[in-house]
Amino acid sequence: MLRMELRARHYSHKTEQSYCSWVKRYVRYHGMRHPREMAEAEVNSFLSHLAVNRKVSASTQNQALCALVFLYRFVIGRRLGDLGEVVRARQPKRLPVVMTRTEVDAVLQRLNGEKWLMASLMYGAGLRLMECLRLRVQDVDFGANMILIRDGKGQKDRTVMLPQVLQKPLMKHLECVKMIHQRDLADGYGRVFMPYALGHKYPNAATDWRWQFVFPQKHRWRNRQSGEQGRHHIDESLVQRAVAVAVRAAGLTKRASCHTFRHSFATHLLESGYDIRTIQELLGHKDVKTTMIYTHILNQGGHGVQSPIDKLLLSRED
């Protein structure tokens, strides 16, 4: 029932898995009692347990709260009232990890093929990893130098730039992908997963070149019941692993990941003088306060301020 309600509201697969997991933990914590038999006091107890005993982060505790609010509102059919004095996990004020331009270049030089292309898009257009992997052929507009991001975080669409230096490599990549798709069609396959109910509305769209993923998986998936085969996008773990290896090979001591390319994109645009509202639109942030974190990065570390020890020791050398 919970899964059906989540899917009816077009929640992502990851959110569905997460919410179901939190509901199971909630039920187990209270001795397998049915959620209908419980209310605000039990939710309070569970959330406080997460903060005090499990020592989860503030974002993790908030995710658990969202899952339970959804459960009671849409599945059980009643809203939660005042939860009282919930022990809240402390929200740490952390700055995102950002690579310098030199470090980005060093990491990219240690990637190749489609992994290099995906990492270049994440840095060059500020894409999240899953936004990059979920790109369809029709989302890339070479004529307008633009990429359309569909159903980004918060189910919002937005457009970002298509970097000029990536146009030719991306075209060449798509030529190879098209050959694979045509070969799949010749074998009687070539279907792709269609979002929402579009597969039922447009039965032939699943084999249409426009709907194919820009970065398809190497091997076809197979439906054991129907025998259908097709290609989903490449698994995110393969890209994450490749980037992690490249970061180590480049000798970086920072905890850089795929998402660090996005952080670096925003920070480098700010350094180049672009205004915060433009960067907010490119990143797809709902609130400009989220984007403002990158201004804090620029202001950290005493940029433009000379350390007193530099002045002291440099004067000795003179």
Whether residue 39 is contained in a domain is answered as: yes
* Residue 262's CATH number: 1.10.443.10
Joined tokens for residue 248: 């180590």
DSSP annotation of 284: T
Whether residue 315 is contained in a domain is answered as: no
For the stretch 163-182, pLDDT in tens is 999 999 999 999 999 999 99
Same domain as 63, residue 119? no
Candidate from 141-145, 193-197, 262-266 with smallest mean pLDDT: 193-197
Give the angle 174-237-66 at the CA atoms, nearest 5°. Answer: 110
Same domain as 110, residue 201? yes
Contacts 24+ apart (CB under 8 A), 166-171: 166/117, 166/120, 166/121, 166/124, 167/142, 169/117, 169/120, 170/117, 170/140, 170/214, 171/142
Identify whether 200 is a catalytic site residue: no
Same domain as 138, residue 35? no
> Cα(133)–Cα(32) distance, rounded to whole angstroms?
39
Whether residue 119 is contained in a domain is answered as: yes
Rounded to 10 deg, the angle between the 13-29 and 58-70 helix axes is 90
Whether residue 88 is contained in a domain is answered as: no
Count of CB atoms situated within 10 Å of the CB of 288:
12
Joined tokens for residue 48: 């406080």
What domain range includes position 49?
2-76
What does the pLDDT average to over 260-280? 94
Identify whether 153 is a catalytic site residue: yes
Q: How confident is the model at residue 201 (pLDDT cuts 50, 70, 90)?
A: confident
Over pLDDT 70: what percentage of the chain?
92
Identify whether 294 is a catalytic site residue: yes
pLDDT at 311: 67
Instruction: State the catalytic residue, choosing from 134, 262, 263, 268.
Output: 262
Say if residue 88's pLDDT is above 90: no
Instruction: State the catalytic residue, choosing from 128, 134, 231, 263.
Output: 128
| Domain finish residue from 46, 76, 106 | 76
Q: Beta strand 140-141 with 229-230: parallel, antiparallel or unpaired?
A: unpaired
pLDDT at 8: 83
Q: How confident is the model at residue 192 (pLDDT cuts 50, 70, 90)?
A: confident
Q: Which of 183-187, 206-210, 236-240 has the highest mean pLDDT?
A: 236-240
| Domain finish residue from 76, 107, 139 | 76
Whether residue 309 is contained in a domain is answered as: no
Identify whether 128 is a catalytic site residue: yes
Whether residue 174 is contained in a domain is answered as: yes
Instruction: State the catalytic residue, choosing from 49, 150, 153, 220.
Output: 153
Joined tokens for residue 228: 């259908």
Higher pLDDT, 105 or 8: 105
What does the pLDDT average to over 268-274? 91
Whether residue 85 is contained in a domain is answered as: no
pLDDT at 282: 94
Split into its structural domains, the chain has a count of 2
> Cα(125)–Cα(138) distance, rounded to whole angstroms?
17
Q: How far is CA 285 from CA 124, 150, 155, in A?
A: 17, 14, 12
pTM, two decimals, is 0.78
Whether residue 84 is contained in a domain is answered as: no
Instruction: State the catalytic residue, choosing from 19, 26, 189, 294.
Output: 294
Identify whether 285 is a catalytic site residue: yes
Same domain as 228, residue 176? yes
Same domain as 109, residue 11? no
> Cα(179)–Cα(220) distance, rounded to whole angstroms?
14
